[in-house]
């Protein structure tokens, strides 16, 4: 069971570097091969997506892995034996690990159940929380968000990334945790405050040249379809609003991510549009420019326009003054879209739930 030791850490970093090399070279082959037919490229792609781990035991819950992950050779090699430094894990070899045990507190992992239990018992005793609490959702305080610095809690963030990769079909460079912060969504049962559970997270580049407010987002499978992804998305947007940076999630977005964002963006935009009176015209049609929607919802104009089109609620109305794109919005159709997709118009995040002053841009006084 890898623990937070310096050797385990450096071994894993070396491994991570190897993996990022492996994945970039394989994608290089895929893009530069000209004689290969499309179907064999697809087959190759499909092979790279083949799962190598069948099932994870996370705390006391078992569920299937969806995609391959890049756990080190000690886990993925046949019989758990690494042939030594330089071993690289090839994906596309099918299932090699029927069951992987993962600690639901620190994401340490192993194939042996007895070792794992020893670890869990000792990990539970430590009872440590990661990073600092930045947000509390609702009055009961059962849902909280914690910020963890990848360069401080390196092994924890690497183990979290390895686990997350089992459910994410993207991101080749997944192990550079140093330049990211991780925001953990934690559920603390009011009846059992000693058992907080991390149910998902998003990562964010500390310095993003593209103004990305989120790199990866995942709600772990047992907690999906409860609207928790929307809560994390809303937290990421509220943070960027506080920072005064207008941005969005890193592109390309996975299929699952796109579905989630479409609902989140659509809901935020719909709430604002339905509240706005000045677009009212007869039959609920009104003109509004995309910049205003973006300014009010803090969703980048491109993302606003894309989702408005996908929602099928806009007619192009040409450009307003200068280069501002204007669209004609039909409120009746907005309402229909909301009902059809069962979108909640409640606010996803309570800005008062953040710790005081969190991420707020400091005003520079004088020169």
Quick count: other Cβ atoms within 10 Å of Cβ 141?
13
How far, in whole angstroms, is CA 315 from its chain's centroid? 32
* Residue 126 is a catalytic residue: no
Quick count: other Cβ atoms within 10 Å of Cβ 256?
18
Structure tokens that stand for 330 in this block:
């039909």
Smallest separation (angstroms) from Zn ion to the CB of 225: 27
**d(Cα 236, Cα 238) in Å, to the nearest integer?**
6
**d(Cα 240, Cα 294) in Å, to the nearest integer?**
13
For Zn ion, which is the closer residue by CB, 46 or 124? 124
**d(Cα 215, Cα 157) in Å, to the nearest integer?**
14
Smallest separation (angstroms) from Zn ion to the CB of 120: 6
With a CB cutoff of 8 Å and minimum separation 6, the contacts of 71 are: 53, 89, 97, 100, 109, 162
Burial 40-64, CB ≥16 within 10 A → b, else e = eeeeeeeebeebbbeebbbeeeeee
For Zn ion, which is the closer residue by CB, 8 or 256? 8
Say if residues 257 and 214 touch (Cβ distance below 8 Å).
Answer: no
Kindly give the residue spans of alpha helices, DSSP state H, lying in 127-193: 154-165
Smallest separation (angstroms) from Zn ion to the CB of 3: 8
**d(Cα 111, Cα 332) in Å, to the nearest integer?**
55
Identified catalytic residue from 147, 153, 205, 250: 250
Say if residues 254 and 168 touch (Cβ distance below 8 Å).
Answer: yes
Return phi, psi of residue 342, to 5°. 50, 50
Smallest separation (angstroms) from Zn ion to the CB of 95: 25
For Zn ion, which is the closer residue by CB, 106 or 155? 106
Where along the sequence are the contacts to Zn ion (CB under 5 A)? 103, 105-106, 108, 123
For Zn ion, which is the closer residue by CB, 8 or 314? 8
Smallest separation (angstroms) from Zn ion to the CB of 102: 9
Smallest separation (angstroms) from Zn ion to the CB of 5: 13
Catalytic residues: 250
């Amino acid at each position: 069971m890898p623990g937070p030791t310096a050797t385990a850490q450096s071994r894993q970093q070396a491994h991570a570097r190897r993996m990022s090399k492996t994945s970039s070279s394989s994608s290089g082959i895929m893009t530069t091969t000209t004689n290969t037919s499309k179907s064999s490229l697809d087959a190759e792609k499909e092979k790279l997506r083949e799962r190598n781990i069948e099932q994870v035991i996370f705390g006391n819950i078992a569920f299937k892995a969806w995609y391959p992950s890049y756990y080190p050779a000690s886990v993925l090699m046949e019989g758990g034996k690494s042939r030594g430094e330089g071993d690289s894990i090839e994906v596309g070899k099918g299932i090699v690990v029927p069951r992987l045990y993962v600690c639901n507190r620190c994401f340490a992992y192993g194939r042996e159940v007895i070792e794992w239990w020893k670890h869990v018992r000792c990990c539970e005793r430590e009872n440590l929380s990661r990073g600092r609490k930045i947000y509390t959702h609702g009055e009961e305080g059962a849902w909280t968000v914690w910020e963890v610095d990848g360069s401080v809690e390196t092994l924890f963030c690497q183990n979290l990334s390895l686990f997350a990769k089992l459910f994410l079909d993207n991101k080749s460079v997944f192990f550079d945790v140093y330049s990211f912060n991780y925001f953990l969504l934690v559920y603390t049962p009011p009846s059992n405050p000693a058992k907080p559970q991390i149910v998902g997270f998003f990562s964010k580049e500390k310095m993003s040249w593209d103004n990305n407010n989120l790199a990866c987002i995942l709600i772990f499978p047992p907690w999906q379809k409860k609207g928790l992804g929307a809560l994390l998305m809303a937290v990421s947007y509220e943070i960027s609003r506080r920072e005064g940076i207008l941005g969005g999630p890193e592109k390309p977005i996975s299929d699952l991510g796109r579905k989630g964002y479409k609902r989140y963006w659509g809901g935020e935009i719909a709430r604002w549009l339905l509240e706005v009176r000045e677009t009212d015209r007869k039959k609920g049609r009104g003109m509004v420019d995309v910049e205003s929607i973006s300014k009010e919802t803090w969703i980048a104009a491109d993302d606003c326009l894309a989702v408005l089109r996908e929602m099928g609620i806009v007619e192009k109305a040409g450009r307003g003054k200068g280069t501002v794109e204007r669209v004609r919005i039909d409120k009746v159709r907005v309402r229909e879209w909301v009902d059809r997709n069962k979108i909640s118009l409640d606010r996803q995040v309570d800005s008062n739930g953040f710790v005081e002053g969190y991420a707020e841009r400091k005003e520079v006084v004088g020169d």
